[in-house]
């Protein structure tokens, strides 16, 4: 009898918002300690994940010192790591800080940081939604063309599509005001034509949110550090220190993909059932 297919896992961290060493976000949140805890948690996961994807807002203000700090904090990870940009990032500073991450400079992607990764029985497509200097996201014709072309290359390979700004409204007023404001309708038309997209995985919202989008499911994961307070409707925006979490995407063949949300930190247990 053939051995059962192995399980594969991809860890998704988001919105790490690293500052230069010794600084706290808003004078209160130790984003570096939060990422250290996430890294330790990942190192204990079994089976060993195929890699770790960070879905943007890697640092808080795009400075070279903060990217150097991020690099140092990620160093204990012996797994492949893939980095994406969010609205707090600076493309060139990121590329300069991680020169061996060759995928960050892809001539096909022009000036954007978007790329593909071949995982076991799964293709990862990372899409750049950033507008330099702005909080909201956009998909211009160039990026949408790249997406259409990239998806058309591998129509039969189960695909995880990753982007910082989610392509849906969350009903949290101030976050929707800085959501994906341009190119969304065309993006949905493209997704509708590519049934190999099993999940659209995003950050930016600092909360866990899921939404149907065409034939697939789009979702965001919490931040490793601070969370956006859940204020439905009009909101001015505030944050909380609710538990941080990571996304754990798990599959064997590909279309059997499921996503677990795994709180980061020490909690009592596990306790065996009698």
Residues that bind Fe ion (CB under 5 A): 15, 57, 86-87, 204
Contact of 140 with 110, CB cutoff 8 Å: no
- In whole angstroms, what is the distance from residue 82 CA to residue 69 CA? 16
Of the two residues 8 and 207, which places its CB atom closer to Fe ion in the complex?
Answer: 207
Of the two residues 160 and 228, which places its CB atom closer to Fe ion in the complex?
Answer: 228
Of the two residues 196 and 235, which places its CB atom closer to Fe ion in the complex?
Answer: 235
Least distance from Fe ion to the Cβ atom of residue 230, Å: 15
DSSP string for 192-261? HT-TTEEEEEE-SSSS-EEEEETTEEEEE---SS-EE----BS----EE-PPPEEEEEEESSSTT-EEEE
Least distance from Fe ion to the Cβ atom of residue 89, Å: 9
Of the two residues 15 and 128, which places its CB atom closer to Fe ion in the complex?
Answer: 15
Least distance from Fe ion to the Cβ atom of residue 28, Å: 16
71-109 as b/e: b if 16+ CB within 10 A: eebbeebeeebbbbbbbbbbbebbbebbeebeebeeeeb
Least distance from Fe ion to the Cβ atom of residue 139, Å: 15
């Amino acid at each position: 009898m053939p051995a059962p297919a192995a399980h594969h896992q991809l860890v998704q961290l988001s919105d790490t918002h690293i500052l230069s060493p010794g600084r706290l976000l808003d004078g209160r949140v130790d984003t570096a300690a939060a990422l250290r805890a996430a890294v330790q948690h990942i190192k204990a996961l079994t089976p060993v994940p195929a890699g770790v994807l960070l879905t943007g807002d890697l640092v808080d203000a795009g400075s070279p010192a903060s990217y150097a700090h991020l690099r140092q904090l990620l160093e204990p990870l012996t797994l492949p790591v893939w980095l994406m940009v969010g609205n707090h990032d600076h493309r060139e500073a990121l590329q300069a800080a991680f020169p061996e991450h060759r995928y960050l400079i892809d001539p096909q992607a022009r000036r954007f940081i978007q790329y593909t990764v071949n995982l076991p029985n799964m293709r990862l497509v990372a899409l750049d939604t950033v507008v330099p200097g702005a909080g909201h996201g956009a998909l211009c014709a160039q990026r949408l063309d790249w997406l259409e072309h990239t998806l058309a290359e591998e129509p039969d390979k189960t695909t995880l599509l990753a982007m910082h700004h989610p392509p849906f409204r969350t009903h949290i007023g101030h976050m929707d005001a800085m959501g994906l404001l341009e190119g969304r309708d065309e993006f949905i038309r493209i997704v509708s034509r590519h049934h190999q997209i099993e999940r659209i995985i995003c950050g930016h919202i600092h909360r866990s949110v899921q939404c149907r989008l065409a034939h697939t499911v789009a979702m965001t994961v919490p931040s490793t550090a601070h969370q956006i307070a859940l204020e439905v409707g009009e909101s001015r925006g505030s944050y909380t220190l609710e538990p941080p979490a990571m996304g754990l995407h798990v599959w064997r063949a590909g279309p059997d993909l499921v996503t677990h949300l795994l709180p980061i930190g020490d909690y009592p247990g596990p306790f065996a059932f009698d």
